[in-house]
Amino acid sequence: MIIGLTGSIASGKSTVAEMLKELNLPIIDADLVARVVVEPGTETLKQIVEAFGEEVLLDEGTLNRPKLGDIIFHEPAARKTLNDIIHPAIRQEMLRQRDELLENGAKDIVMDIPLLFESRLQHFVEKILVVSVTEETQLKRLMERNNLSEKDAKARISSQLPLSEKEKGADAVIYNNKSLESTREQLHKILIKWNVLK
Residue 198 is predicted with a pLDDT of 87
For 38-96, what is each residue's pLDDT tens digit? 999 999 999 999 999 999 999 999 999 999 999 998 889 999 999 899 989 999 999 99
pLDDT at position 37 is 96
The domain spans of the chain are 1-26+109-198, 39-105
Residues 6-44 have pLDDT tens digits of: 999 999 999 999 999 999 999 999 999 999 999 999 999
Q: Say how far apart CA 115 and CA 108 lie, in whole Å.
A: 21
- Residues that constitute the known binding site for ATP: 10-15
Of the candidates 138, 135, 121, 111, the residue with the CA atom closest to the CA atom of residue 4: 111
Is the whole model's pTM more than 0.75, yes or no? Answer: yes
Torsion sign across C-alpha atoms 187, 190, 194, 198: positive
Output the CATH code of domain 1-26+109-198: 3.40.50.300
Q: Which amino acid is at 150?
A: E
Residue numbering of the annotated binding site: 10-15
Name the phi and psi angles at 71, rounded to 5.
-65, -45
Q: Are 146 and 153 in contact (CB under 8 A)?
A: yes
pLDDT at 145 over 90: yes
Q: Above 90 in pLDDT, residue 159?
A: no
Tens-place pLDDT, residues 130-141: 999 999 999 999
Work out the number of other CB atoms within 10 angstroms of the CB of residue 92.
Answer: 12
